[in-house]
Structure 1
Amino acid sequence: MTDQNLPNDTQVSDNSQPLISHLTELRDRLLRSVLIILVIFVGLYSWSNELYLFISEPLRRFLPEGTSMIATEVASPFLTPFKLTLMSAIFLSVPFILHQAWSFIAPGLYKHEKKFAVPLLVSSVFLFYSGMAFAYYVVFPIIFGFFTSVGPEGVAVMTDINRYLDFVLKLFFAFGVAFEIPIATFLLIAAGLSNVKSISEKRPYVIVGCFTVGMLITPPDVISQTLLAVPMWLLFEVGLLFGRLVDQPDEKTAEQ
C-alpha cells in the first residue's frame, strides 16, 4: 500500500519544488530592489535640501519679491526633504527594478517575445523619464508663472513646502505615465488585441479621453489640462505610427 502511494508523493514533491524555487527567486529579487533603493537613498540624503531647492526652483523664480516658501507644520522642514529623497531614490532605481522583473520573467518567454521585450523595457524607462523632464522644464514654468500672476492684489503667494512637493510628485507621475502611451498602443497592436485601423477610428474618443484624464489629474485650469492632454494625443499618434510596423502584414492579408 505504501509502495503504491510513493509515486504520487514523489510527484507532489516534484511539482511543489519549482513553485518554492520561484517564490525564493522572487523574494531575492524584491530584496535586491529594496536594497538598491536604500543605497541610492543613503547616497542622496546628504543633498536632500539641495534636491528640494532644485525641485522648487520652477516656483521660487516666480514668487513675488519679499515672499518665500513656508513650512506650516513643525516637522515639515525635516520630513519634506526626506520624502523627496525617498521618492527620488525610487524613481532613479526604476531601471534596476525593471531589470529584476525582466530577469524573473524572461525564462518563461518565447524567443520572439524576448526580441520585443528588451526594446520595450528600455523605451518605457526612457519615456517615463522624458515625461518627468517635460513636466519640470516645460509644464512647471508655465503653470507656476500663470498661478503666481493671477492672484488677487494684496495676496502674498507663500506656498507650503509639503503641499508643493505633493503637487509636483503628482504631476511627475502623471506625465511619466502619460508618456507610456506609445508603448501601450504598440502592445495592443503587437499582441493582436486590436489593429491600426480599428484604433484610428476611435481617435475622437481618444482625444476626449486625453482631455478628461488631463482634467482629473492636473490642477483645475485649462492650461495644465491642455499641457497634459495634447502630448498624450501626440504620443498616441506615435504609438499608431510604430504599430504599423507590426500591423502591416495583417492589413495586406485582409486586402487580398
Structure 2
Amino acid sequence: MHIDLSGKTAVVSGSTAGIGLAIATGIAASGADTIVNGRNQRAVDEAVATVRAKASGAKVRGIAADLGTRAGCDAFLKDVPDADILINNLGMYGPSDIFATSDDEWERYFQINVMSGVRLTRAYLKDMMERRWGRVVFVSSESGLNIPSDMLAYGFTKTAQLSIARGIAKFAAASGVTVNSVLPGPTMTDGVREMLRETAQKQSKSIEQAADEFVVSSRGTSIIRRITMPEEVANMVVYICSPQASATTGAALRVDGGIVDTIA
C-alpha cells in the first residue's frame, strides 16, 4: 500500500520528541507539508532537522507555541490558519492519585491534554468539512480505558479524548472528514527512558530490558509482552490519515500490544 499525502498540510501538536516526532516523520515521509510544534524553539528546530534527516525531501517547518494555553493556540493559528490533517498529540503525564492532585493540577492536565485538541479541531474542522476532506486524530492511551489509580488525572483526560473524538466524528458525518482516536500502550519515549534509567542501572540491565519487564509487570495483559516503539504508533496514525482509510471514523484504534482485554 502506497500512502500519498502530497498537497496536504498536516499539523502535529507536541511533536518535538517521542510519538509526536515519529508521527511527524511518517506524515512528512508520505508527502504532506508538515508542521512540527513544541514550546521550545530549540527543540522545535532540532525536531525539524530530525524529520528532514529521516524523511528525504520532507516539506517540514516548525512553530514554537504553548498549545496548552488559549493564547498559545491563538498565536499558533495565526501562523497556520488552515490544515487538512490534524494530529492532537500534545499531552502530559505523571504520578497523580486522588490525594496528590491539586485543583490547579487537574486544570493543567485538562488544558494541555484536552483543550489543546478541542481548540485546534474547532479552528480547522469547518474548512475541512467545506472541502469535503480532512483527517483529525486524537492520540489517547490505553489508560483511557484501563484507568490507572496512580495517574488518575492523566487517565481521565485520555478518556475525555475518546468521547470528544467520537462526538466530533458524528458531528462531521457524511462530510468526508474522519475523526479517530489512537490508543498507544506503554511506549519507548524519552520520558519513559529517563523514568527507567535508574532501575536499569541498578539491575545492570539495558533500558530496553527494563522497559519490557515493566510492561510485563505493570501491564500483565500485554500480548506482545514488550514495550511499543513510537514508530509502531506512528504507522497506525499515518494510515488513518491516508485516503485509503476513508471508511474508518469514530473509532478508537488500539496500538497497545493487546493490553486492553476486550474483543471489541
Q: The TM-score by the shorter chain falls in which range?
A: under 0.3
Q: Which structure: larger Rg?
A: 1
Higher fraction of strand: 2
Higher fraction of helix: 1
TM-score of the two chains, using structure 2 as the length reference: 0.26
